[in-house]
């Protein structure tokens, strides 16, 4: 029989969040999400639960970070299931604000981080990171948590959020969590449920491409273009995969590398029909 779990308190307004957190035991761990929670999110919540006395999960499908309105409309939503998952993973509070609660009438502030947001996801999705950093700045400020948890799955987002927190003097420690994958290597993503059966079968091509490049690196190859070519060749063998970019970049600046002399970040974005997937692998 499944163990009964206490449902966390669902909070919908900034004022109620302020009230609830004023009485919460510290330290507080914050896990920002867009819902449709899966084991990747669960790993963040469990890590937050292990590190902190109280865990706050936020669920907000942030319209400002979607550069395609069809992607925003199609984004999966299941609040009741999400709240249960949050409780089972150890969250005490789930903040599920409306769009108007996050962006009240008259809202006119935006947070934009510089060059780190320009390549890769920033180039492919105009306006995406400005939407992310604006909402994350609001959530970090409202929560005032000791720690906030982000997945390595969105490697550029993690770098950009760290940069923003440091630049704005936000005291919350930004904690990075490893990528959680399916048994066949596909990184868990809320968008995976939108893949057709054939696309789902093809989607582990991202992981295969990253591993092909890593194998070349492990064999001593240090020419970044050869690693990018290894990823392209692997993806080209999968007819349903339409690559948007492949990258072998400096993991601190995200500038594309020629010769690999230190650590590097292999990453890619690939479309399967209407669904866009990303993945990455740090080397060494």
DSSP single-letter state for residue 179? P
Q: Are 82 and 37 in contact (CB under 8 A)?
A: yes
| Least distance (Å) between residue 22 CB and ligand AMP | 26
| Least distance (Å) between residue 19 CB and ligand AMP | 25
As separate numbers, helices (DSSP H) first and strands (DSSP E) second, the chain gives 11, 9
| Least distance (Å) between residue 191 CB and ligand AMP | 8
CB closer to ligand AMP out of 150 and 217:
150
Phi, psi angle pair for 20, to nearest 5°: -65, -40
Positions annotated as catalytic residues are 41
CB closer to ligand AMP out of 131 and 243:
131
CA distance 239 to 168: 45
Taking alpha carbons only, the member of 37, 31, 81 closest to residue 57 is: 31
State how far the alpha carbon of 105 is from the alpha carbons of 101, 102, 140, in Å: 9, 10, 21
Alpha helices in 52-127 (DSSP H): 69-74, 79-89, 99-102, 121-124
In the complex, the residues that contact ligand AMP under the rule CB under 6 A are 33-34, 40-41, 43-44, 150-151, 153-154, 177, 179-180, 187-190
Residues β-bridged to residue 270: 243, 277
Please give the residue whose beta carbon sits closest to ligand AMP in the complex: 151
CB closer to ligand AMP out of 150 and 272:
150
CB closer to ligand AMP out of 134 and 230:
134
| Least distance (Å) between residue 141 CB and ligand AMP | 18
């Amino acid at each position: 029989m499944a163990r009964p779990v206490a449902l966390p308190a669902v909070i919908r307004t900034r004022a109620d969040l302020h009230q609830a957190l004023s009485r919460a035991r510290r330290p507080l761990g914050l896990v920002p999400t867009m819902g449709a929670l899966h084991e990747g999110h669960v790993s963040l919540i469990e890590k937050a639960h292990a590190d902190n006395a109280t865990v706050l999960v936020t669920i907000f499908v942030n319209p400002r970070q979607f550069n395609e309105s069809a992607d925003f409309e199609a984004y999966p939503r299941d609040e009741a299931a999400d709240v249960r998952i949050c409780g089972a993973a150890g969250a005490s509070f789930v903040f599920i604000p409306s769009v108007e609660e996050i962006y009240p009438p008259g809202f006119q502030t935006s947070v934009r981080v510089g060059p780190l947001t320009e390549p890769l996801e920033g180039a492919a999705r105009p306006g995406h990171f400005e939407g992310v950093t604006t909402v994350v700045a609001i959530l970090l400020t409202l929560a005032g948590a000791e720690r906030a948890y982000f997945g390595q799955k969105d490697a550029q987002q993690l770098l950009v959020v760290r940069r923003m927190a440091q630049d704005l003097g936000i005291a919350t420690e930004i904690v990075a969590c490893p990528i959680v994958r399916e048994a066949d290597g596909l990184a868990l993503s809320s968008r995976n449920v939108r893949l057709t059966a054939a696309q789902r079968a093809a989607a582990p091509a991202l992981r295969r491409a990253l591993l092909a490049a890593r194998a070349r690196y492990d064999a001593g190859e240090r020419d970044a273009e050869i690693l990018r070519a290894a990823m392209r060749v692997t993806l080209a063998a999968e007819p349903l995969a339409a690559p948007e970019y492949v990258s072998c970049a400096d993991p601190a600046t995200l500038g594309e590398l020629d010769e690999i002399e230190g650590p590097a970040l292999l990453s890619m974005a690939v479309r399967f029909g209407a669904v866009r997937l990303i993945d990455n692998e740090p080397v060494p």
